[in-house]
Chains A and B, each alone.
Chain A
Amino acid sequence: MTMRPDPTFHASPKLAMEAPAENFAYTLLLSPDFSKPDALAVIDVKPGSPTYSQIVHTVTMPNKGDEFHHFGWNACSSALSPLAGHAFIERRYLIIPGIRSSRIYIIDTKPDPTKAKIHKIIEPEEVFKKTGYSRPHTIHCGPDGVYVSTLGGGGKDGTNGPPGVFIMDCETFEVLGRWEIDRGPQTLHYDFWWNLPRDYMVTSEWALPPQFENGIVPEDLLANKYGHRLHFWDLRARRNVQTIDLGANHQMALEVRPAHDPVREYGFVGVVVDTTNLEASIWTWWREGGKFHAEKTATIPPEPAPKEKLPPLLQGFGAVPPLVTDIDLSMDDRFLYVSCWGTGEMRQYDVSEPRKPKLAGSVHIGGIVRRTTHPNGKAFAAGPQMVEISRDGRRVYWTNSLYSTWDDQFYPDGVPGVEVMANVGRNGGLELDKDYFVSFPDGYRAHQIRLEGGDCSTDSFCYPSA
């Protein structure tokens, strides 16, 4: 318990943008063949520092086979929620779930990120016993605790009951229990986020564990059996109030990115692939007249390619699908960054008009066929994947791994972990920074990035910017 709110808590997105820039980036490392324990890398991102763009500290876990994916903070700007009435906690602990093991690590980043260490380990049995869920995934810090989404239900293969969200205490890290009271038609899960003062949550759908743990199941994909719906919830009543089906051909609706400014009642979601034409799409959802709506507002076409340049999985299609696997919205709600993991492109859309995204910038790097190298000449395996934006919107960081078994299907030559960064122009435009290129130790892939002091996919706000 502190005497003052953490200085990295901000009442509005605007104040978050004006705060000092990040000095460190935390990045999750995974051992795709489970031969080594997964790890958290702490990277120096302070320009001018002698160790700039280098790993300055690594926290190696005591177990193998966790498969790190996403992670988050114990507390963020949502602690300033006027309803919580008590802002005296620190942004201090990183909560890292293993999506394969269901084990959760709590990492203490104080007194200094370069001395980060394990604070607590929550064993999988506790998660199973207290929630009936498995395979914890997305972490969001809420005013009343840490919310964790899961991808699996109970049982060995995670199909005994639907997956959902559970809550943990943000100081003791005790697993408190299931969040949902009435889940309605929701049976699949992936990402979630909310608008705290407007009191709603949005969740998306990926697949059940047998559909992803051993690799993508092509028959299921072509039969449109992956997730394709959005669920809208009354946040405090914990009730599913509306479900929107994007259409069965829109397979895998993944990252949900609501506008940061809580006065704006809209957001975005990315769809990985349209099974009728291999297109990827961006959808805008919004609330109007008490109802939620969603429409496809941008599409990215596949790129034709000769069979011999394609991995076996794609040879029958003669094209590379863009595979939009992650999207992220800048703090001022102006630019939406879209990772095209298949074609090897990072796109920047101007979404000032949320239902009319305009392509404002793009860089090519990696890709199944293009295999574009970094401006510094080094190879970049796979394509842009997990993307994170600095609070001020001037720097965009990304890594290249999607998920252990899927990496191997789309990029059979291997996916050595890399992290790069692009600088953003004042009015858009995107350019890779020649000096920022992080290679990770042999045998490790890199997944989600978290920036010191919060970033554009952690913090949620209870006051508007204006």
Chain B
Amino acid sequence: MFDGFLLLPVGLDWGHASPALGWLWLALVASGLYHGVNPGMGWPLAVSAGLMDKTPRALFRALWALAAGHLLATLLVLLPFAFLLVLAEWQRSIQLGASLLVIGFGAYRLIERHHPRALARIPPTQLVLWSSAVAIAHGAALMLVPIYLGLCQAFELDAGHEAAGVLMKASLGMAVLVSLVHVAAMISAGGCLAWLVYRHLGLRFVSRSWFNLDAIWATSLVLVGVVALAFNLASWR
């Protein structure tokens, strides 16, 4: 997997990248920041860990675990698509399917608003598991699929004129890169917030920071899916 990542700069044809590229990277980083500041993605756990163990080291340990869990979830969701991209002649169906999947999940979250409370039954010592379960349950990782596919398309990784092996390496590498960039943004935002609350703002901020973003979250899933769908349909016209 990391072999593919290292080969990535070689595989990418930066010169022919489409103008949408900048926006896609921006969307990737923005989604990371968005997930990071959302208390539902775990930064309050880092605050709690730091305070409970009375050392900032515990806070950073928790942040690492949260980042690892989020990374695991994004990879878990992106990698199947990376493999699918090898089926070059199916790429249009894959992209349409992915967009519809994201729209469908967003719509489901809009209708079925019941929060999966069972997440609180994961032991506090298993933060990696918790973080990845949360990212999958909320569709955080799914939100990246259209961005990922868009990036692959922009870099013409889906061109179909490459040998399957090269293509696979490039699409896998892109999946890893997309996950890492997203998680770096996510944990920077969450980490900053956790540190601010831990050192400066105090625990009152924990309850103040919770805004019910369920509707906005679900809508943004639908939106990402719709934009991707429109983009794909337009580019194939």
Contacts and interface: CB of A to CB of B under 8 A. Distances in A.
Contacts of A87: 39, 207, 210
A1 B117 CA distance: 13
Q: How large is the interface on A (under 10, 10 to 19, 20 to 34, 35 or more residues)?
A: 35 or more
B124 A463 contact: no
Given A142-B120, A464-B52, A11 B212 contact: no
Q: Which residue of A5, A10, A15, A198 has the most chain B CB atoms within 10 A of its CB atom?
A: A5
A98 B179 CA distance: 53
Interface string B22-64: 0000000000000000011110110110011010000000000
B181 interface: no
A85 B206 contact: no
Contacts of B45: 82-83
A463 B206 contact: yes
A83 B212 contact: no
Nearest to A10: B207
A299 B122 CA distance: 40
A144 B119 CA distance: 8
Interface in A6-38: 9-12, 14-15
A83 B210 contact: no
Contacts of A15: 203-204
A4 B211 CA distance: 5
Interface size class of B (residues with CB under 8 A): 20 to 34
A12 B207 contact: no
B210 A197 contact: no
Interface string A157-189: 000000000000111000000000000000000
A85 B121 contact: no
B39 A85 contact: yes
Interface in B106-139: 113-115, 117-125, 130, 134
Contacts of B117: 84, 86, 143-145, 169-170
A369 B123 CA distance: 51
Contacts of A2: 212
A466 B203 CA distance: 10
A199 B122 CA distance: 10
A44 to B, nearest CB: 28
B118 A11 contact: no
Given A15-B203, A463-B203, A83 B119 contact: yes
B214 interface: yes
Given A11-B204, A144-B118, A462-B48, A236 B123 contact: yes
A274 to B, nearest CB: 37
A262 B212 contact: no
A363 interface: no
Nearest to B206: A11
Contacts of B123: 199, 236-237
B64 to A, nearest CB: 16
Given A82-B42, A197-B52, A263-B51, A5 B119 contact: no
A166 B132 CA distance: 28
A313 interface: no
Contacts of B44: 80, 82
Contact of A86 (B48, B115, B125): B115
A2 to B, nearest CB: 6
A385 interface: no
A466 B134 CA distance: 29
Contacts, number: 100
Contacts of A142: 120
Nearest to A84: B120
A18 B122 CA distance: 31
Contacts of B214: 1, 88
Contact of B207 (A11, A85, A236, A464): A11
Contacts of A10: 207
A463 B207 contact: no
Interface in A433-466: 462-464, 466
B207 A5 contact: yes
Interface string A181-219: 000000000000000111100000000000000000000
Contacts of A85: 39-42, 115, 119-120, 134
A264 B5 CA distance: 47
Of B117, B123, B212, which is in contact with the most chain A CB atoms at under 10 Å from its CB? B117
A82 B39 contact: yes
A4 B124 contact: no
Contacts of B118: 144
Interface string B141-175: 00000000000000000000000000000000000
Interface string A262-275: 11000000000000
B92 to A, nearest CB: 36
Nearest to A145: B117
Interface in A35-85: 80-85
Contacts of B41: 85
Contacts of A462: 48
A83 B124 contact: yes
Contacts of A14: 203
A282 B210 CA distance: 40
Contacts of A463: 47-48, 51-52, 203, 206
A197 B124 contact: yes
Given A84-B117, A198-B52, A236-B123, 4 more contacts: A80-B206, A88-B214, A169-B117, A237-B123
Interface of B: 39-42, 44-45, 47-48, 51-52, 54, 113-115, 117-125, 130, 134, 203-204, 206-207, 210-212, 214
20 contacts: A1-B113, A4-B211, A11-B207, A14-B203, A15-B204, A81-B120, A82-B45, A83-B122, A83-B124, A83-B130, A84-B115, A84-B120, A88-B214, A144-B120, A144-B121, A170-B117, A236-B122, A236-B123, A262-B52, A463-B206
